[in-house]
Amino acid sequence: MSEQQSGSSRRRRKRVLSAEEKLVVYQQLLSGELSQRQAAERWDVDPTTIMRIRKVAREGALFALAQSRPGRRQGEGDAELAAARAEIERLSETVKEQAIELVVLRGKQRPGW
C-alpha cells in the first residue's frame, strides 16, 4: 500500500455538529473538562473544528456583550419600537383616508366656484 492510500484510508468522514453540540463542546473547553485534543477525539471531529468553535463562540459572545446596555432590558426597547411603528401605521392610514376624501370633495366641485 502506498503512502497516499494509507493516508486517505485514515481520513475521517466529516462530522457535522449541531448548534447544541457545539455549545456543549465550548462549555467543556471553558470549564477545563476537556482539552482541545480530547474534545476532538471525544466528538470525533478534526482539531481545527474545535478551534473554529472556540473562535466563533468567543466572537459571538463579544458581539452580544458589545450590543447589550447595562440596566436596560432587551425587551423594553422592542416593545417601545413596536408601539411606535404601530402608531406610524395608524397615522399613515388616516392621512391616506383624508387624502381620498379631499380628492372626492374637490372632484365634485365645479371649477371657478
C-alpha cell at 106: 374637490
Asked if 19 contacts 30 with a C-beta cutoff of 8 angstroms, the reply is no
Q: What is the CATH number of the domain that holds 58?
A: 1.10.10
Q: Same domain, yes or no, for 66 and 84?
A: no
Confirm whether 38 is domain-assigned. Answer: yes
- Total Cβ atoms within 10 A of residue 23: 13
Q: Are 17 and 25 in contact (CB under 8 A)?
A: yes
Q: At what angle do helices 47-67 and 19-31 cross, to 10 degrees?
A: 90
Global pTM reads 0.51
> Containing domain of residue 95, as a range?
80-113
Domain annotation covers residue 87: yes
Q: What is the pLDDT of residues 20-32, one digit of tens each?
A: 999 999 999 999 9
pLDDT tens per residue, range 32-71 = 999 999 999 999 999 999 999 999 999 999 988 888 877 6
